Structure 1
Amino acid sequence: MTLNYAEEDADVAQSAEMSGAPTQAIQLLLPSDEGLPTLDEQQSIHEEAVQTAQDSGPNLPSDSSSQLSSSISASNPGNPETFQRASICRIKVVADLVAVFMDSSIMNMTLKMDFVNERAVDDAGVSREVYTAFWEQFLEQCEGETERVPRLRPDFSEAEWQVVGRIWVKGFVDHGVMPVKLSIALILACINGIDSVDTDILMSSFLNYLLPIERSAVEKALQGTMDESDQEDLLDLFTRMGSHFLPPENNMKSAIEIMAHKAILQEPKYIVDCFSTPMSLVKLKLPDKKSVLSLYEIKKPTGKRVMQLLETTMVVLSQRQQVTLNHLQRYVKNADQAKAEKILRFCTEGLLLIPVELHSMCHVHTVLTQNFEFDNILSSNYLEMDII
């Protein structure tokens, strides 16, 4: 199966180059990045930040100051530091990307990346795969089920946690890459403050954080329909969270909300504070709860959404080709979220919802119909990039 990406508008790219803007910024014009800052808006954000720095004086955090100064130098098209390349080792993508982003000025550079010993040209696809691989490995070290929450670790100081925030911002702004498994309540707190997280969002994130059996027990407790087995499961959860007894029924809802606040917001408060410095750069585009929730909803791949992105370059299909296309569409449409994510990553080197063009329908037919080969390919996690 040979896949192409929709090409960016050539006039826009030429305009970006003539203005001295980083060429990667044209990624913001993709349909998948709708709602992200345009070049003019980014410049406006930088100018506003500079004015804020002048008004605030020495009270600004040092990290913000370095970002502002590098922003000013990056606006100069003659500055050779506005472009940077980085080689990342796939098996230690977290450590390598953290090292790249230690210099906060990287936020204002055009960053091109490749994987060590993998032959591929970074026409956005490799960078998407790097960011996706980073979050995949990083989230393995976080806690939770459907939504995950980072925890303090001995090898990460304030500098490393701020770097992770920069990686979130850079991947999001440049390529629309966003780890949807990172707790919604946590990200909302990072961008708009803990006070912006209301009880509904907190409880939704908490339920998605819990194991299925714990989630079922909490839901029944809130509904007042617990049986003896549910009480045992709930007591195990309270014990894990630091309490060794169940609260009285008339205080159950309040106790669960306190437990949710502790797990999702209080314990990672230091991380939230570190993330908030770089994530303030996207606050103008994600100013409230509604915008963050909408972003999460748009970015979550589903079988139906991925199926709608499939396109064929052939104007007229033979009967066999049409049957094959129909089979592929059914296969993708019926995929659950986990499989939809794998299909999307297999096709686009990331979790970015962009059109996918199909060229070789015969090969698609072979892959999909012989011994569930496509399922085996998706489950193998073999994603080495070796096509130039």
Structure 2
Amino acid sequence: MEDDLQQFLKSRDVPEEDIIHMKRDKLCDIQRGCEFIDLTNQISTHHNNIFETHGDDDTVEWNEDDELGQTDEDQTTVITLNLNAELNEAETEVPSPPSSNPVLLMGNEMLSAPEDLPSHSRNHLSPTISSGNSENSKDVHALIHRVKVVEDLLAVFMDSSIIQSTLKMEFVNESAVDDAGVSREVYTAFWDQFLEQCEGEDERVPRLRPDFSEVEWEAVGRIWVKGLLDLDVLPVRLSSAFIVACIHGIDSVSDDVLMSSFQNYLSSTERSAVAKARQGTLEECDEEDLLDLFTRMGSHCIPPKNTMEVAIQTMAHKAILQEPKYIIDCFSKTMIFALLKVPDQDSLLSLYDRRRPLVKKVAQLLQTTQEIQSQKEQMVFNHLQRYVRNADQGKAEKFLRFCTGSSVICVDQIKVSFSAESGLCRRPVAHTCGATLDLPYTYSSYPDLRTEMITFCPVITLKWTSCEFDAAQE
């Protein structure tokens, strides 16, 4: 049996050295009850490399009604290999993606889900990626489930080439056309959910997770870079000192940047206690809060006053830079693409300042689409400006996301146009792709406008497809 197999391999131009290795590794230890039957004599020799390079494309045809029956006299099982493909096309065929990856769409055609599944089931199988290849880059279209945006977006960004690709995204079962607005909403939803699993308060630092390996952390880094380069989406709640370390190295983080980031990392109570401790004005009522902080960071006593500053800086370095060191190393592999945007620490900190959605800066974004307004339009526009200026930080972020799809400032202006809607049809309508707000001029007073803005902004921020759908119809 082994001699027959050896002759078969030699007839297929398999090198003698490979045959020896196969015998040594017992790869040719075929059971005696099996018999190879050569059905490939009609295939020309110049196609024999298909057995090595396209083995996954071979199909085993099994007819359960015949040809596999066994008798007591015949213990031989016959396996028929059928290369049912055009050999000229086999060498250029794209292999199917692994089952663990999102469904890939090449060109304009989609790999359909099984026909026996209902349509709503097919939509929720996995994130879907379509790509059209070109010489230097490719167009990628991704379908994201809002309820698992972190998981789906990570699957899209596992591919390192996504940075150079043109990416368009949309949410499953939500009618929208992505002209920047939908992508901004996807990135914003991702960072909102991701940062909930991070350490800290106003500024947060990623923590090691058992479900995240190196590839997941690198994908998160690509999401940060891609959102910044394509849409100026910068998650300002992600610690600035942490990002400086990812891009320029831990040694480049200055003490001022580290301490500023650490102050925002702490809660308001801990922040007050640390500030008093650094100034030497710590009171007894604050000592317990400071002791709780030092205990959480690994120390079980409050250091003396002469070493307090050094101890706090060491604690900040540990929390912001040392504990997430592995994550910093993973991020740094992809952050090189951001160097043109933020070549040094000062440019990054300046970008953080410009993107933070401070109430005053959000109000300054409002611009009317017409230079001359009617008296009613001017009055309603003044009401809108007053609403934004009087809003707290949370409401300002919701209003910004309602108008642009992002909770950080990533547009130069928000254009306000006016409509004559009234009654039950009256409502503010936002077109996030163009950062435009359609506002009825039929509000009779400021409380009238404020009531509807408070009612609609949080709701449409979470379910904004009707706004985008209106924009798509224009």
The TM-score, its normalising length taken from structure 2, stands at: 0.63
Match of 1:218, SS state, is helix
1:130-162, Cα deviation, whole Å (9 max, x unpaired)? 111111111111111110111000110000000
Q: Residue 416 of structure 2: which of 341, 351, 358 is its match?
A: 358
Aligned to 1:133: 189
Q: 1:364 to 1:338 in 2, by over 3 A?
A: farther
Aligned to 2:144: 88
State whether structure 2 residue 460 is matched by structure 1 residue 385.
no
Match of 2:349, SS state, is helix
After TM superposition, the structure 1 = structure 2 runs for residues 1-388 of structure 1, keeping only pairs within 5 Å, are: 78-79=134-135, 82-350=138-406, 351=408, 352-360=410-418, 363=440, 366=443, 369-370=447-448, 372-380=451-459, 381-386=461-466, 387=469, 388=472
1:220-248, Cα deviation, whole Å (9 max, x unpaired)? 00011111111111001111111111111
1:68-126, Cα deviation, whole Å (9 max, x unpaired)? xxxxxxxx984496101000001110000000011111111101100000000001111
Displacement of 1:263 in angstroms is 0.4
Letter in 2 for 1:184: S
Work out whether residues 359 and 388 of structure 2, in 8 Å CA contact, stay in contact via their aligned partners in 1. Answer: yes
Q: 1:384 to 1:322 in 2, by over 3 A?
A: closer
2 CA distance for matches of 1:178 and 1:364? 34
2 CA distance for matches of 1:182 and 1:204? 13
2 CA distance for matches of 1:263 and 1:141? 15
Identity of aligned residues (%): 59
Q: 1:149 to 1:319 in 2, by over 3 A?
A: same
1:256-315, Cα deviation, whole Å (9 max, x unpaired)? 110000000000000000000100111233222211110100111122222222122233
1 CA distance for matches of 2:133 and 2:169? 21
Work out whether residues 180 and 296 of structure 1, in 8 Å CA contact, stay in contact via their aligned partners in 2. Answer: yes
Which one has a bigger Cα radius of gyration? 2
2 CA distance for matches of 1:117 and 1:221? 53
Letter in 2 for 1:356: I
Work out whether residues 302 and 335 of structure 1, in 8 Å CA contact, stay in contact via their aligned partners in 2. Answer: no
1 CA distance for matches of 2:232 and 2:360? 20
Cα RMSD for the two superposed structures: 1.9
Work out whether residues 198 and 204 of structure 2, in 8 Å CA contact, stay in contact via their aligned partners in 1. Answer: yes
Between structures 1 and 2, the one with greater helix share? 1
Structure 1 residue runs without a partner (length 5+) = 1-75
Q: 1:87 to 1:185 in 2, by over 3 A?
A: same
Match of 1:123, SS state, is coil
Work out whether residues 376 and 441 of structure 2, in 8 Å CA contact, stay in contact via their aligned partners in 1. Answer: no
Displacement of 1:322 in angstroms is 1.1
Q: 1:129 to 1:337 in 2, by over 3 A?
A: same
Structure 2 residue runs without a partner (length 5+) = 1-131, 421-439
2 CA distance for matches of 1:310 and 1:291? 26
Displacement of 1:334 in angstroms is 2.9
Work out whether residues 301 and 353 of structure 1, in 8 Å CA contact, stay in contact via their aligned partners in 2. Answer: no
Aligned to 2:6: none
Q: Which of 335-344 and 266-275 deviates more? A: 335-344
Letter in 2 for 1:305: K
Displacement of 1:319 in angstroms is 1.6
Displacement of 1:337 in angstroms is 3.0
2 CA distance for matches of 1:204 and 1:313? 40
| Higher relative contact order structure (alpha carbons within 8 Å, sequence separation ≥ 6) | 1
The TM-score, its normalising length taken from structure 1, stands at: 0.77
Work out whether residues 325 and 361 of structure 1, in 8 Å CA contact, stay in contact via their aligned partners in 2. Answer: no
Work out whether residues 189 and 195 of structure 1, in 8 Å CA contact, stay in contact via their aligned partners in 2. Answer: yes
